[in-house]
Structure 1
Amino acid sequence: MKRKLASFAVFATLVACGDDSESKPCKVDDPRTCSKGLVCEPVVGEADPACFRPVEIRGSVIDLRTEVAIAAARVNAEEASGRPIGDVAETGIGGTYAIRIPSTRQDGSGAPVGQTITLRAAARDYVPFPSGFRVALPLDTAQATEAADGAWVVAGGPAVIGLEPLPSDRVGLASISGTVGLPSDGSLGFGTMVVAERASGGETITGRVNQRGEFVLFNVPPGSYTVQAYRRGVNYVAAGVAVERADVKGVRLDVAETGTATLAGSVSIVAGNGATSVVMVLESTFDETLARGILVPGLRAPEPGLAPNIKGDFRIDGIPDGRYVILAAFENDGLVRDPDPDISGTQIQHIVVSGGVTSASPKFKVTSAVRMVGPGAGETVEAVTGQPTFRWQAYSSAKRYDVELFDNFGTRLWIKSVTTTNAAYDGAVALEPGFPYQWRLTAFGNAGNPISMTEDLRGVFEIAP
């Protein structure tokens, strides 16, 4: 009976693709080849795709403090590597949104093959998410269930996004909106990041482009800005924009004729095992204290979607003109950039790309990370009851450890030096329930030089209400 039901499910989806579906299967890139409400997607083990109800992430955006719904927020989904997937959604009056996630189906039932997805959100008068070290928790589309309308839906948990209100002196600022030219290969707009950089420095606003090439940048203070688009394999012509109190609309960023660049470099693992990755961050978004910034979609070695595998030479193609920070061992892979400033290859590397040429070929030295015990040793935000005590495993040759605590804006709240493998928080700043904090640790050797540290994306926790 199960075999017959499965066969019927395949037949039903194929029939929905059109009047002549058996001789003309649907086309993945042409939604017109499926009936209304269905999408054409590949099936594991099948030569031809078929029509199915969509896979969607359905959630809401709320005020982190009051839990009131936020309308007109923009939400987009990304793969674990940071590559955008699906379109940009805008929340309705009730703060709800739905994003279709293109998927491969397990079989004729339509159940999706799992993908790890994270979400980004931005809205007027709110701090964008993620930002600082407030990380986006992963969603697994393999957990999708059939909703009443037949769609395969992932909901709840990380699909409910809380945004932190901006300080009162930054409420009511203008926005910049417009469009970018679409690449000549016919690809859609998503995958493009738009950035407004204030000419006098000190202010950078970022946003994502939807499938139609439209973008909105929220919360832009008055000033003169350069607005530029970044997309792997494409250069754009920047636009100058003057912002006062009113929203600026109709900004147009066209594709430039200049070619993109290739970055070649190398990574040396001086201690520890495994492999790592290399990513490119836009320099104007880089926070020196937190040692992180906004990753440009697709600018990664190995290719987005692949697990870290760099043990020597690496290469990143399709880099548009701009100023970048290159980060090795940034992802959670058990390795970190060697922090010893007296050793070459341990410094954070900055490069300029102009006219399709890179200014340097970076070389990195990475080492094994100090392993956390907790809180926040995993890849989720851990809830802590009461004042936290930070714990870690002893690191070989370490004689001292410096433990630091930061808030989400990158402000260091506390530092303590210890010779043990734990430290209780005893700072003067009271930690607020419901808001994220990150602790970091640096290990020092016999000569007082730093020899390792904890990983960049770990150590995030919040105080339970």
Structure 2
Amino acid sequence: MVKRIGPALLSLLVVACGDDKECKLDDPESCAENLVCEKVSGQEKPLCFAPLQVEGKVFDLSSGAAIPNAEVTALDANGAPVSGVAVSGADGHYSLRIPTERSDDKGTPVGARLTLRAGAQNYEPFPSGIRVALPLDTSGAASTEEEKPWVVSSAQTDVGLISLPSTDQGLPAVSGTVEVSSGQSALVVVEGNGRAYSAVADTSGHWKVFNVQPGGGYKAQAYVKGANFTPADVSVQPSVTTTGVALRKAAGAGATLSGTVQLVAGANGAGTSVVMVVESTFNAALIRGEVPPGLRAPEPGTAPNISGAYSISGVPDGKYVVLAAFENDGNVRDPDPNISGTQIAHITVTNGTPSASPSFKVTGAIQMVAPGAGETTELVTGTPNFSWKPYSSAKAYELRVFDSQGTKVWENLAVPSDAQNGAGNVEVAYGGTALRPGLVYQWRATAKGNAGNPISNTEELRGLFSVQ
């Protein structure tokens, strides 16, 4: 249903917007109550419209129980925040207002792709570990009647969180602000004592991390493309939320990291991507971590296309892990440790100078069949059977299953290449201890060559499943 601004509403807008009858993008009071001032495609002047809202529920992924006081925010395709923070109510429901351009003077929202982040006390943050956030398309927003918000609500706007172990329950939070300019986005990492906690600041620069182990010696640091920040010392007291941690800009505009990617036999010739992960957030078992917004080649929003030289500009000082073929593009980093260009690259950027120029070899990935061959979590009934397409020149395979935070729960390191089902796919039944219903797991396969050396893997962001 399209939104029309009727005569009665127009008269309200005249009163709300003043004598010039125009609303102002930087003045929330320039529109009548429950309306927002937003740009209109192809028009010079903004108008007042009913807002666009993402609505959903935050719930315990295992029990289905509502989670109150969870914080939810939205990011664009570049990983930059596009909203403030919505806090879930006692029933777990939240409503997150999303500023958006309108396609016409009727207020039809211009579609955009967003992802959600959520955090709550006693729960793992989302996304984290093996769990990734799938994009939402706001072009599907709908309104039930005149002058009511445009709403995006679906299964993807409901966020399930995984409960932390009992030893990590009841821990305090740390919050603060980042000095960011309009259009900038910041990843904040609080690290120390062998741990790292992360959050993306919202459009106001506010950030918050949950479930921090008490202790001194923490440092909070902001990672913003094109800028450096002075870290802040943080001491966390038991049962006390630490607030007011301010992160301010320092000298320097960021470095440029350059290197090369070589596509070897079997690789998807369309190319791949390279990202930079903050080293303290890197999970070696899962080969993933937090990527500061914008630290990617090609630029965020562009399909993977790197097949030679690459560069990433505006890299703040800090320690990073550089990953090639991290996304779902049919490619993986060549895992053979005996070949140069296959190792995971750790670098340090100091005073705008990277310590290395990483080069990578990338090969074709093992193609998954089930479960979780797509980008969503697949629900499995009974004992899981893992299957994949035979990989050229593979003499054997290894199979591993991980929980949501990268703890290995089972492995089979001697899967013969002829362990195939009637469809000609390699297939192995799960043989570990019972998996917990409602939790998310990931399986990964590695192909082995003649000498027992690894020659390919399944892709890092696939293979997610849950049992019922």
Whole-angstrom distance in 2 between the partners of 1:196 and 1:12: 51
Q: Which amino acid aligns with 2:293?
A: P
State the match for 2:249 in structure 1. Answer: 255
Instruction: Measure how far apart 1:11 and its partner are.
Output: 10
Tell whether the 8 Å contact from 1:13 to 1:108 is kept in structure 2 after alignment.
no
Where 1:142 maps in the other structure, the secondary structure is helix
Tell whether the 8 Å contact from 1:18 to 1:33 is kept in structure 2 after alignment.
no
Tell whether the 8 Å contact from 2:335 to 2:457 is kept in structure 1 after alignment.
yes
TM-score (norm 2): 0.89
Whole-angstrom distance in 2 between the partners of 1:24 and 1:398: 71
Where 1:429 maps in the other structure, the secondary structure is coil
| Correspondent of 1:120 among 117, 122, 126 | 117
| Correspondent of 1:403 among 399, 404, 412 | 399
1:433 equivalent in alignment to 2:426: no
State the match for 2:130 in structure 1. Answer: 133
Q: Which range moves more in the overlay, 388-397 or 80-89?
A: 80-89
Task: Mark the CA change 1:45 to 1:204 in structure 2 (over 3 Å): closer, same or farther.
Answer: same
1:144 equivalent in alignment to 2:141: yes
Q: Which amino acid aligns with 1:268?
A: Q
Instruction: Measure how far apart 1:332 and its partner are.
Output: 0.8
State the match for 1:213 in structure 2. Answer: 205
Tell whether the 8 Å contact from 2:386 to 2:430 is kept in structure 1 after alignment.
no
Instruction: Measure how far apart 1:71 and its partner are.
Output: 2.2
Whole-angstrom distance in 2 between the partners of 1:375 and 1:194: 34
Task: Mark the CA change 1:337 to 1:81 in structure 2 (over 3 Å): closer, same or farther.
Answer: farther
Whole-angstrom distance in 2 between the partners of 1:356 and 1:278: 19
**Structure 2: runs of 5 or more not aligned:** 419-424
Instruction: Measure how far apart 1:44 and its partner are.
Output: 4.5
Instruction: Measure how far apart 1:42 and its partner are.
Output: 4.2
State the match for 1:240 in structure 2. Answer: 233
Instruction: Measure how far apart 1:215 and its partner are.
Output: 2.2
State the match for 1:264 in structure 2. Answer: 258
Tell whether the 8 Å contact from 2:390 to 2:417 is kept in structure 1 after alignment.
no
Q: Which amino acid aligns with 2:211?
A: N
**Structure 1: runs of 5 or more not aligned:** none
Whole-angstrom distance in 2 between the partners of 1:53 and 1:27: 15
Instruction: Measure how far apart 1:128 and its partner are.
Output: 0.9
Task: Mark the CA change 1:13 to 1:375 in structure 2 (over 3 Å): closer, same or farther.
Answer: farther
Instruction: Measure how far apart 1:327 and its partner are.
Output: 1.0
Tell whether the 8 Å contact from 2:63 to 2:438 is kept in structure 1 after alignment.
no
Whole-angstrom distance in 2 between the partners of 1:11 and 1:275: 54
Q: Which range moves more in the overlay, 105-114 or 375-384?
A: 105-114
Instruction: Measure how far apart 1:391 and its partner are.
Output: 1.5
Q: Which amino acid aligns with 1:422?
A: V
Task: Mark the CA change 1:69 to 1:448 in structure 2 (over 3 Å): closer, same or farther.
Answer: same
Percent same amino acid at aligned positions? 50
1:102 equivalent in alignment to 2:99: yes
Whole-angstrom distance in 1 between the partners of 2:359 and 2:352: 20
RMSD value over aligned CA atoms?
2.7
Whole-angstrom distance in 1 between the partners of 2:273 and 2:18: 44
State the match for 2:386 in structure 1. Answer: 390
Whole-angstrom distance in 1 between the partners of 2:359 and 2:6: 52
Q: Deviations over 1:332-377 (max 9, x none)?
A: 1111111111111111111111212111111111111111111101
1:84 equivalent in alignment to 2:93: no
Q: Which amino acid aligns with 2:132?
A: V
Summarize the alignment of residues 279-318 of structure 1 with structure 2, pairs less than 5 Å apart.
Answer: 279-318=275-314
Q: Which amino acid aligns with 1:193?
A: L
Whole-angstrom distance in 1 between the partners of 2:97 and 2:457: 39
TM-score (norm 1): 0.89
Q: Which amino acid aligns with 1:264?
A: S
Where 1:439 maps in the other structure, the secondary structure is strand
State the match for 2:348 in structure 1. Answer: 352
